[in-house]
Every structure is written in C-alpha cells, then in structure tokens.
Amino acid sequence: MQQPARALCLLFAACAATPPAVLEPAAVELSGTVAYEAHLARPHATRDLTATVHVFRDGGRARVELREAAAGQANPELTTYMRDGDGACWVRSASSKQFRREGAATERFLRVLLDAAADASHGEHRVAFQHARLGDVADEAHWVAGSTGPELHVRWHRTADQVEFVLRRTATTPAFDAATAFALGEVDATPPAATRAPAPARFRTLAPGVHEITLPTADSRSLAIEFQDHVVLCETSLDNPSGEQLLAALDERLPGKPVRHVLFGHYHPHYTGGLRPVMARGAVVVAPPLGAAFATEIAARPFRSPPDALAASGRQVVVETFRGERTFRDDSNELVAIDIGAHSHHTDEYVVFWLPRQQILFEGDLGWFAGPNGLRGGGERARGLLQAIDERQLPVATLVQSWPTVGMATLPMAEFRALLAK
C-alpha cells in the first residue's frame, strides 16, 4: 500500500524548483555502467560501456566528467558537462576542445543527476516532459538497494537515443579545484538546435513520380513516390514535428494525393521518428516483421499531455508485414521495397526502395559520406549494398541516400562502383 505515498513523493520531486538542502560533499565519484539504446542492430538492443562519473559542484555551478569505455578499451573517452552560474549547460565531447551550448535535454540530465548525487536521503528525482519522438516520459535518477549497496539508476531521453546508467558511490573523493574547475574557456555559443525554429522543408522532383523532401534541421531526406491517386512515403525523419513538416510539404506540392502507405528503411530514429503524424492521416505502415512490431510500439507511445495528432485522432493504426519484397504498382508508377537484411551490416532488417521505371534506388545510410577531401564510401555497409544490388541484378542508374543530407544526395551508380573500387 505504499503506492500513493510514492506517487506523492514523485509529484513533489517533479515540482520542486529548489535543489535539496543537502549539497555536500562537493566532489563525488560514481562508477558502474551506461547503456545506449536506439542505433543498434535491432530495437531495444543496447551498447553497454563501463562508466566513471565525477560530480563537482560549487553552489549552482557544476561539472560532471563522464569517462566511458567498451570492454577491452584501454583509454576511456571523456565527456565533460558543465552548468554555469547562470544555469546554462555546456558539453565538451572527447573529440572537441571547446564547450558547446546544450539545451533542455542536458539541463534535465544534470538536474536529476546532481540532485540525486547530493541527496543523502536517497530520494527520487525526476523531470517529466513530452519527448518529440517518444512521448510522455521522465528523465529520472533514483537510488535502489543493489546487491552490494545503494545503486543510482539514471534514465535520460536524448533527442536521438536513450541512455541508462547504473552507478555506485565509490570510496574515492576526486580532487578538484573550484577556482579552475568551472572555467569554460573559449566556447561555441551557437544556440542548441532544439531551441531554433526548424529550417523549411526542401521539395524537389528527382524524376517523374519521384519527389524528395529534405529536412535540413533533422538532417534527413524522405522520398514521396507518386501514384495515380495517392502517395507512398519512404522514410519519415526524426520526430513528430519532422513528420508534420513532411506532410505539410506533401499537402502543398501534391494536393489531393493522400499518403496511403508509409515505409521506413530501418528502425533508427531518423527514419521512424516521424511516423505518428503520418499514421494519424490513416496511412498503412508496411514493414518486415521486426519493423512492423516496432511500428506497433510507436503507435502505442504515450502522447497524452498534450495529445499529438495520432492520439487526438483515436485511430487504430494498420500495420502490414512483408518478408523479402513488397511491390506497389499502378499504371503510373512502381515501387519495390526490398529487405536486404544482413547485407546492410547495420541492422537485422534493412529495406531499400527500388524504382524500376526511373532506375533509382533509395537507401537510408549505407552508401557514402561527403568528407573534406571529397566522397568517401561507407565501408562494409556500402559493399553490402552493392552486393545486394548485384545479386538481384537490379539495373540501378542512380542511388539516392537519406542521410547525411549535407553533400551529395544522389550518385550515379557508376560513380558509386568507382568509389568502392578505390
């Protein structure tokens, strides 16, 4: 019967604007594990690393040093988070010399972590909010009784992944010098992307019946395949606002042609995050089995306060499963969705989009990057893609890629082969 008291406690913690009274000690070491979810071979798989966290605080200012290492990795990677005297948050990654400005996600993480690390009464600390892709969630840090003593569990929902820490307090008090520990030095003060208005969608017709919609802020490209009385949308970008942007571009440029089917190449956030607004219009999701199960999960995500378009629509989302290939065809156009699976060297299922009449093949993130010295092939992913194309003897003339959007989005097939032959 402890549930009501616990709920009250959570409510209080979520509403408490002031940090707990106990702020000492000012330097703490925690060690344990950190798991990252969202960019692996299949939904809910995690990348597990060891983590050592040093927390330093001085009044409202704080510095958090996170050292992470994979199994067998000798030198941990250091990421440093800082909260300055004005409450602004900053991060410096292992590969950067400068701190850059961070937004609400980092503010939430630091708030719950710092409050929990300094909380001698081992209470719960959470910030509830609506995530643009995951819905109504909470970033939280709370202590639980572990087998070897108290464990601090931290859940953090970032823009493009989810992070979970399990940490224990060590006997070490890391040394720090308050006079220098909070110096930011030269910084990159560009406002965080999440606080800026998204750049307008760019609509471009690549070939008859094939239209590209690029969203520069989300760094994603979708294709709208136009049929006689409808559209099939391939790839849905990062989150609800991105999905709404795609639909607005289609409403403007292809009016009277509703999205009848929506597909995604693989389950990663930049391809599935914008599904819900498209589902809200009644589009049928079509995917291989793992992707279909994931789409059903996305349809069930809690977007209650406030309701998003799908929640407000009250619709039952229809998800159709295919194995291998699925063809969409009428007199005007043809699209073949092909699951190349293990050939992707990226995810267990990986759908590419073949347009036989235009000889275009659209793929997500396997092919190439635009580097400072020109194009660079995507390694084993790119070779696997080429193998999948050649095994099926697809007469591809042009490749179109969803990500990255900076650099060349389309590549003649001959150039792709030449790139991989280097």
Give the Cβ contact number of residue 415 at 10 Å.
Answer: 15
Q: Tell me whether residue 61 or residue 345 sits nearer to Zn ion (CB atom).
A: 345
Give the residue, chosen from 212, 219, 349, 365, that forms a contact with Zn ion under the rule CB under 5 A: 365
CA–CA distances in Å: residue 335 to residues 128, 170, 200, 338, 386: 42, 57, 27, 10, 19
What is the phi/psi pair of residue 278, to 5°?
A: -70, -40
Return the bridge partners of 374, or none: 371
Distance (Å, whole) CA 302 – CA 257: 29
Q: Tell me whether residue 68 or residue 365 sits nearer to Zn ion (CB atom).
A: 365
CB of 290 to Zn ion, least distance (A): 14
CA–CA distances in Å: residue 142 to residues 37, 112, 123, 228: 20, 9, 6, 55
Judged by DSSP in three states, 342 sits in helix
CB of 362 to Zn ion, least distance (A): 14
Give the Cβ contact number of residue 301 at 10 Å.
Answer: 19
Q: Tell me whether residue 57 or residue 266 sits nearer to Zn ion (CB atom).
A: 266
Q: Tell me whether residue 67 or residue 268 sits nearer to Zn ion (CB atom).
A: 268
Q: Tell me whether residue 355 or residue 366 sits nearer to Zn ion (CB atom).
A: 366
Query: Which residue number has the CB closest to Zn ion?
Result: 268
Q: Tell me whether residue 209 or residue 265 sits nearer to Zn ion (CB atom).
A: 265
Long-range contacts, 72-81 (Cβ 8 Å, 24+): 76/50, 76/52, 81/106, 81/109, 81/110
Q: Is 381 in the site for Zn ion (CB under 5 A)?
A: no
Give the Cβ contact number of residue 261 at 10 Å.
Answer: 22
CB of 366 to Zn ion, least distance (A): 8
Q: Tell me whether residue 349 or residue 365 sits nearer to Zn ion (CB atom).
A: 365
Distance (Å, whole) CA 337 – CA 354: 6
Three-state secondary structure along 377-408?
ECHHHHHHHHHHHHHCCCCCCEEEECCCCCCC
CB of 232 to Zn ion, least distance (A): 21
CB of 369 to Zn ion, least distance (A): 13
CB of 217 to Zn ion, least distance (A): 18
Q: Tell me whether residue 333 or residue 344 sits nearer to Zn ion (CB atom).
A: 344
CB of 322 to Zn ion, least distance (A): 20
Two tokens, residue 69: 């290492």
Select from 102, 97, 68, 67 the least CA-distant residue to 82. Answer: 102
Q: Tell me whether residue 212 or residue 365 sits nearer to Zn ion (CB atom).
A: 365
CB of 365 to Zn ion, least distance (A): 5
Helix (H) or strand (E) segment spanning residue 313: helix 309-313
How many residues interact with Zn ion (rule CB under 5 A)?
2
Q: In whole angstroms, what separates CA 11 from the centre of its chain?
A: 28
CB of 224 to Zn ion, least distance (A): 21
Considering only residues 257 to 286 of the shown chain, the ones binding Zn ion according to CB under 5 A are 268
Contacts with Zn ion by CB under 5 A lie at 268, 365
